[in-house]
């Protein structure tokens, strides 16, 4: 098996999974095909992979005969990759199956399935812990047995553990050390059927955070499109859906924001071929079999459209916005989204820091996104000045629109006496939602300039900014706060204000270019990086069109380019050399073996299988240094994966090399 990540957002991955019968783009939806009742060609609607039940085939003599002689692909008339279930669903429904784990593994291999599944014990939610532990042990024993039985079959092994997060994590840890290719997260259908989405989040996160990043995760039974975006954001790659036909039989239409009953419809809800060619009355008057097939087609089209939208959102970097939209479709989904706040540190590691899409604030839940968490963490890399001047929001970038400031100010600490501190002794910071504090030198860095929030702040955002400011100003001896900031964020409850005063002259806000480039470097690479990269007066070249900094030279030697799209530095060769000298090993480094060393020097991209070590804190899209075991600088480039993923993957690109030749 070969799984490679192409794009990332949140914990979501747009990837390629290679199988004996073709490649699959992930996230992917696998329609469930009943081996004896197939009526719809799901490939017409976008299915690249399907799932069918090996146990049903095994138990039916006619189906079994065809599958054993012609193969499962001929049996269900699908020439792409096929995953088969082992009978665990029947085990959970009826309490017993008439097949052993060894028999069903051998049978799946015999009929030519691409991805087989061991016969796990699907422990339902909320059972007593003793039962969950006992059944988990059986699941793990059968997983180990399945590896002994299989020859070339790609194997699923299901993460179980009921609603006990520690058992899910234990199971994932143990399975992750075994030679499986994929990992379903099982026994979650009862949670979804009863809208227990917050518990679903706990189960999924307890599993994916302990599974190898290099293996796709399959959320079993998650067939409703309203859950796809949230599940993908948590790191799920595959979904199986019998919902398209089951809901059709119940005369219900799936939509990304819920379910509609045909009996209640006066208008059809979308522009698919079913909704444009038939009215609700026409569908209601049909024979049931014809009506069910048409509704199933609608459900398939809606489901695959949602998967495509999710893939595009990952590429654009707007998956979080889509998740927030979808989770507002149901109160319990919204509760689940809010519970992701408990996993901010984990999401920070996986969420790329720079994206194509702007950050859109859509409500209090946006305050919990990794962009906000990451910004506040990186602010600790910035050395505080003696005095901070806190100003209200303006148009972005702030430094271009804060010209003559003549409003009233409050003063805390120090001795101002109405005398303006020198600019070089003062940190000018804008106070805004959702990031709270934005030093003017950073106001062009993603996402501090590339975000939008409502003009009028909600209560949660006011409280959040108040808390952020309370921590931020502790680093300064003297605080000068605009009256507007004080009133907007109710700071009189937080600080003891001095008297309101005005400066004799309107404040002319300016940003020193050399201070700007050093602070951006500190923010991007770590405290002190700016001083080492730009250790004397630099030659700063600006864009004639925009007036923004484009290149930084030391005399005629290019050090770095400030990327226009996100305001961060792209290193030149001399910049990489200086950063390598400044940062201690293994910070910002990807270490390659001897085989890859000559290719790195030539500027070739680095593949994960050649990496022997790396900084675990690397994010996807970070500027990284490529070195050998002796820490000799070979090249530099942009990371495709984060540090944890680079350690785990053995396939695909890890770093897109920019320059070699050291």
Task: Give me the half-sphere count of Cα atoms (radius 13 Å) on the Cβ side of residue 346.
Answer: 16
Peptide bond into 27 cis (omega under 30): yes
User: For residue 639, what are its two tokens?
Assistant: 């990371």
Report which of 531, 534, 566 is spatially closest to residue 548, judged by C-alpha positions: 566
Catalytic residue among 85, 432, 443, 522: 85
The string of DSSP codes covering 3-20 is: EEEEEEETTEEEEEEEET
Q: Quick count: other Cβ atoms within 10 Å of Cβ 227?
A: 25
Q: Quick count: other Cβ atoms within 10 Å of Cβ 341?
A: 13
Find the largest Cα–Cα distance for the chain: 94
Task: Give me the half-sphere count of Cα atoms (radius 13 Å) on the Cβ side of residue 459.
Answer: 0
Q: Quick count: other Cβ atoms within 10 Å of Cβ 89?
A: 20
Report which of 64, 42, 11 is spatially closest to residue 237, judged by C-alpha positions: 11
3-state secondary structure 395-455: CCCHHHCCCEECCCEEEECCCCCCCCCCHHHEEEEEEECCCEEEEHHHCCCCCCCCEECCC
Handedness of CA 518, 519, 520, 526 (dihedral sign): positive
User: Tokens 């201690």 map to which residue?
Assistant: 584
> 3-state class of 621 per DSSP?
coil
User: Tokens 């009506």 map to which residue?
Assistant: 291
Report which of 366, 395, 407 is spatially closest to residue 500, judged by C-alpha positions: 407
User: Tokens 């030279």 map to which residue?
Assistant: 553
CA torsion 229-139-241-83 (nearest 10°) is: 110
| 555 burial level (CB within 10 Å; 0-12, 13-18, 19+) | exposed
β-strand pairing of 359-360 with 451-452: parallel
User: For residue 652, what are its two tokens?
Assistant: 């695909």
Distance between CA atoms of residues 168 and 404, nearest Å = 58
Report which of 553, 511, 561 is spatially closest to residue 536, judged by C-alpha positions: 553
User: Tokens 């799209």 map to which residue?
Assistant: 565
Distance between CA atoms of residues 202 and 137, nearest Å = 21
Whether 85 sits among the annotated catalytic residues: the reply is: yes
User: For residue 612, what are its two tokens?
Assistant: 């022997």
Backbone angles phi, psi at 571, to 5 degrees: -75, 145
User: For residue 538, what are its two tokens?
Assistant: 């630099």
CB-based contact 196:204 (threshold 8 Å) = no
Buried-state track 273-286, b at ≥16 Cβ within 10 A, e below 16: ebbeebebeebeee
Catalytic residue ranges: 85
């Amino acid at each position: 098996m070969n799984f490679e990540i192409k794009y990332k957002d949140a914990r979501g991955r747009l990837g390629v999974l290679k199988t004996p019968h073709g490649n699959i783009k992930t996230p992917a939806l696998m329609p469930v095909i009943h081996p004896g009742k197939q009526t719809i060609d799901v490939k017409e609607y976008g299915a690249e992979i399907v799932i069918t039940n090996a146990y049903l085939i095994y138990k039916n003599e006619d189906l079994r005969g065809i599958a054993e002689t012609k193969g499962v692909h001929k049996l269900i008339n699908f020439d792409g990759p096929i995953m088969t279930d082992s009978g665990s669903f029947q085990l959970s429904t009826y309490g017993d199956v008439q097949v052993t784990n060894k028999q069903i593994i051998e049978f799946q291999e015999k009929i030519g399935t691409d991805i087989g599944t061991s016969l796990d014990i699907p422990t339902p939610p909320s059972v007593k812990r003793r039962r969950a532990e006992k059944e988990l042990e059986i699941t793990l024993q059968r997983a180990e047995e399945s590896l002994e039985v299989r020859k070339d079959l790609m194997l699923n092994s299901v993460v179980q553990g009921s609603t006990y997060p520690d058992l899910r994590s234990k199971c994932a840890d143990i399975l992750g050390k075994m030679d499986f290719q994929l990992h379903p997260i099982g026994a979650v259908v009862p949670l979804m059927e009863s809208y227990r989405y917050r518990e679903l989040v706990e189960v999924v996160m307890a599993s994916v955070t302990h599974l190898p990043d290099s293996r796709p995760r399959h959320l079993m039974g998650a067939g409703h499109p309203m859950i796809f975006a949230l599940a993908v954001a948590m790191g799920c790659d595959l979904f199986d859906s019998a919902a398209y036909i089951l809901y059709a039989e119940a005369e219900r239409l799936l939509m990304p924001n819920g379910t509609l009953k045909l009996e209640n419809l006066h208008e059809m809800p979308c522009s698919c071929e079913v909704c444009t060619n038939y009215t609700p009355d026409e569908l209601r008057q049909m024979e049931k079999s014809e009506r069910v097939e048409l509704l199933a087609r609608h459900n398939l089209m809606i489901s695959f459209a949602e998967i495509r939208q999710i893939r595009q959102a990952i590429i654009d970097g707007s998956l979080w916005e889509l998740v927030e939209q979808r989770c507002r479709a149901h109160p319990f989904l919204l509760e689940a989204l809010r519970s992701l706040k408990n996993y901010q540190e984990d999401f920070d590691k996986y969420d790329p820091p720079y994206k194509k899409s702007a950050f859109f604030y859509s409500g209090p839940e946006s305050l919990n996104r990794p962009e906000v968490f990451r910004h506040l963490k990186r602010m600790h890399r910035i050395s505080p000045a003696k005095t901070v001047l806190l100003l209200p929001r303006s148009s972005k970038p702030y430094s271009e629109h804060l010209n003559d400031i003549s409003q009233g100010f409050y003063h805390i600490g120090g001795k101002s006496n109405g005398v303006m501190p020198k600019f070089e002794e003062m940190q000018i910071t804008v106070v805004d939602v959702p990031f709270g504090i934005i030093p003017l030198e950073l106001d062009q860095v993603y996402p501090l300039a590339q975000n939008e929030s409502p003009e009028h702040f909600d209560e949660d955002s006011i409280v959040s900014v108040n808390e952020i400011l309370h921590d931020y100003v502790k680093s300064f001896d003297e605080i000068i706060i605009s009256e507007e900031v004080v009133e907007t964020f109710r700071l009189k409850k937080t600080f003891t204000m001095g008297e309101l005063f005005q400066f004799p002259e309107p404040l002319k806000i300016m940003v020193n270019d050399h201070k700007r480039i050093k602070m951006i470097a500190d923010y991007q690479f770590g405290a002190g990086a700016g001083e080492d990269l730009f250790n004397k007066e630099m030659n700063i070249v600006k864009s004639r069109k925009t007036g923004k900094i484009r290149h930084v030279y030391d005399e005629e030697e290019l050090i770095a380019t400030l990327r226009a799209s996100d305001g961060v530095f792209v290193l030149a060769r001399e910049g990489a050399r200086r950063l390598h000298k400044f940062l201690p090993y293994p910070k910002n480094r990807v270490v390659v073996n001897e085989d890859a060393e000559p290719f790195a020097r030539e500027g070739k991209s680095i593949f994960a299988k050649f990496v022997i070590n790396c900084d675990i804190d690397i994010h996807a899209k970070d500027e990284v240094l490529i070195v050998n075991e002796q820490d000799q600088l070979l090249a530099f480039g942009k990371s495709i994966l984060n540090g944890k993923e680079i350690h785990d993957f053995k396939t695909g690109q890890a770093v897109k090399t920019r320059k070699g030749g050291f």
